[in-house]
Amino acid sequence: MTRLDVTVVGLHYAPEHSGNAPYTTGLARHLATEDMDVTAVVGYPHYPEWHLHPDYLRRRRVEVDHGVTVRRQRHLVPAEPTALTRVVMESTFAVKTAWQLMRRRADVVVAVSPVLLSLLPAVLLRRAGGYRLGVWVQDLYGAALAETGLGGVCSPAPPPGWRSRS
């Protein structure tokens, strides 16, 4: 039986210790222990400090982490995370992710959101790449909106007339 080739796409990965990085890292490492060939296409560590992690000031494109081939994609890290600078950061990551997805073959791609824009190349290239696609939604951008000042982390109010059945 051949090993399954899995690509995990997500902006955040260890050594980041907050946000969705621990979950994305945990998923990739777990799949590697299940006898799968796992590649993580991820960004450079920068969150939540909004500057590059000191160990990543120099380019480091490929590393191995607990059996996972980690392919780091250089991207803008905004000192001030506004809506516009986040879109530019995510767009840069999405373009580089598309390049990685076109260059390598995978049986399965798992795209982690956020970052929402990194889902775009995974979805658009699915047929051409011949892979199955899973999308793992870990957040709906509440914290990101709060950081930019465009919104909060609270859930929206229920619609008028809505009543709880509990």
* Pair 37, 70: CB distance under 8 Å: no
Average pLDDT over residues 126-137: 95
Predicted model pTM: 0.83
Give residue 60's pLDDT: 77
**pLDDT band, very low/low/confident/very high, at 151 (cuts 50, 70, 90):** low
| CB neighbour burial string for 7-27, b if at least 16 within 10 angstroms, e if fewer | bbbbbbbbebeebbbeebbeb
Distances in Å between the Cα of 142 and the Cα atoms of 51, 76, 114, 147, 155 are: 21, 21, 10, 9, 8
Sequence-distant (6+) residues with CB within 8 A of 96 are 73, 74, 75
Mind listing the pLDDT tens digit for each residue in 40-70? Answer: 999 999 999 999 999 999 887 899 999 999 9
Alpha-carbon Rg for the chain, nearest whole angstrom, is 17
